[in-house]
Amino acid sequence: MKRPSGLGGWLKVILPWLLLAALLLLPVAGPSDNLIRLLFITAVWTTTSLGWNLLGGMAGQVSFGFAVFFGLGAYTTALLMHAGHSPYFGFAGGAAIAMLASYFIGLPTFRLRGPYFVIATIGVTEAVRVIMNNLDVTGGASGYRITEDKPFSALEHYYTAIAAAALAVLVSTFIANSKFGLALRAIKQDEDAAADLGVNPYTSKLWVHAIAAGLTGIAGGIYARRAAFFYPGDVFAFQTGISILLMPVIGGIGTVWGAVLGGVIFGTVEEELVVYFPNLHLLIYGSLLIAIILLEPDGLLGLLRRLFRLLRRKRGDPSSPDVDQVLWGRGRVEGREL
Amino acid sequence: MTKYFGGVAALKDVSFDIPAKQICGFIGPNGAGKTTLFSLITGAIRPSAGKVQFHGKDVTGMDAASLVKKGVARTHQIVRPFKAMTVLENVQLAVHYGRRAVARTHIARDHAMETLKLVGLDRKANTLASAISLGEQKRLEVARALATVPELLLLDEICGGLTGSETHAMMELLHRVREGGTTIMYVEHDMKAIMAVCDRITVLNFGQKLAEGKPEDIQNDKSVIEAYLGKSDFGGKKRA
């Protein structure tokens, strides 16, 4: 990793740790149950958002099929807990099963490119949901219930979710700065050219798919344990796959903190909007999404970056680009260069 | 080696050896099968008949990534830089995944920087690859291939669209690369360039080998002059 330079560079290094410290210390300040629940769900979604972002944002393989991993994480955790194992063993098992599934899903689908890959992932999700609906071991369509002997502890759930999100941030940052991350970015831009330099796009995609699936599986397990009851039409739903995909798109696709931002916004919107606008929350969410895709393809993080640069410009910082460039961007999204 | 596209023989019974540590040129009019030949060697397409051997081992149809690991790298006639990456990152990737497979990022970056110096792009290292000129992108294409540390380097029209001085610089670079022990297969339309730099030249026409030999022999070969250059003077305007 590069050494940070300047105030901005140090802030980038310090802020995440400050954020983590604040989240860990928050329970001391006696927050409401509601806030803890909100932060829990936000952390869960942030984890899936970061997971998806590895495959979809960095490697450019848009998958609609992450509900499969989320659901597998949920069910594996539940079944392992039912068999008397610790929930944490359950999360690890959920990650392992999700990774294994990602391998078998990836084997055929990564032979496909572009829209064909996207369509294949939709097909896989639907197939898995239908299978789970009819599987007796898991109670089929009527769902599964987790029972724990020890009393419910909102804080334990909270801390596991925060830990999972922190793990996802660490893994993402590590990959983004590694040679593997460089290869993924190359694959996103031109698979064949990457292969000409010795990168094997197929195995690279299988690997990143597995890592992404593992994180999503953990998130699924953590979600399921707190929810205590879930069913295939919920965790394996096509809509869950879409939600996981939309978070990094909203926040800023391909960037670690964009994916975090997306997860936070989705979590908040999902939990709060549904309270105030029970019938309209999806409409609001959808409108927000359309606005972002149309106006700022780099997501909210891209918007913030541009605002920040614009402010510096106003202050007369000569090193910042001119206003036109700041306002309209340049090379915002590949293939859409201005 | 033979390749049919439908009923058309793009290459028919073309066979040759590439001696190590030489620059072997391939020329021929458009559609002679030069690019097809390259694609066959680098595994992008499979031959309808025949074999590709490298160091006596069969590498027919082997995928590009594995070939790079074995020491065969290529450039493309139409450059394909990773535009959203810097020039340095483009080359760094090749150092990481090339034959040497350098794992550490800072070492790979140093290697990449050396390669960029070799092609004269070091001052553009931190520029986005989308923001450099075509001539620079051509050099970047060569730098990336070089950074994989190939034993056999296939260059497809690296001088197309370059100015005279840029072409000259490229020729000097090729000499240096060969002195480093790399074998080069070189396809080019620029006659001056290819005659100046190659040890041997193979002439293709309508998918068949027409002639093979030293540049001066090729220049005097009657069938080559007729097939390739028509009746006009050598070095004059050729079919583009």
Q: Do A193 and B82 touch (CB under 8 A)?
A: yes
**B76 interaction partners in chain A (CB closer than 8 Å):** 193, 196
- Contact present, B198 and B187 (Cβ < 8 Å): no
Residue B127, in any domain of the structure: yes
Residue-range definition of the domain harbouring residue B205: 9-47+55-229
Q: Do B84 and A185 touch (CB under 8 A)?
A: yes
> Total domain count for chain B?
1
B64 CB within 8 Å of a chain A CB: yes
Residue B147, in any domain of the structure: yes
CA distance, residue B65 to nearest chain A CA (Å): 4
Model ipTM? 0.84
pLDDT digits (tens, 9 = 90+) for A21-66: 888 888 888 888 889 999 999 999 999 999 999 999 999 999 999 9
Of A179, A189, A337, the CB nearest to B105: A179
Of A177, A197, A337, the CB nearest to B93: A197
Residue B165, in any domain of the structure: yes
pLDDT digits (tens, 9 = 90+) for B218-234: 888 777 777 766 655 55
Residue B81, in any domain of the structure: yes
Q: What is the mean pLDDT of residues A140-164?
A: 88
CA distance, residue B97 to nearest chain A CA (Å): 5
Residue B186, in any domain of the structure: yes
Q: Do A331 and B144 touch (CB under 8 A)?
A: no
pLDDT digits (tens, 9 = 90+) for B70-100: 899 999 888 999 999 999 999 999 999 998 8
Q: Give the model's pLDDT for residue A10.
A: 79
Is pLDDT at B10 greater than 80 in this prediction? no
Task: For residue B68, give the CATH number of its domain.
Answer: 3.40.50.300
**A193 interaction partners in chain B (CB closer than 8 Å):** 76, 80-82
Residue B4, in any domain of the structure: no
Task: Please name the residue of chain B whose CA is at the shortest distance from the CA of residue A337.
Answer: B130
pLDDT digits (tens, 9 = 90+) for A177-230: 999 999 999 999 999 999 999 999 999 999 999 999 999 999 999 999 999 899
* Confidence grade of residue A337 (pLDDT, cut at 50, 70, 90): very low
Q: Do B80 and A193 touch (CB under 8 A)?
A: yes
Of B94, B103, B128, the CB nearest to A198: B94
Q: Which residues pair with B73 in a beta bridge?
A: B153
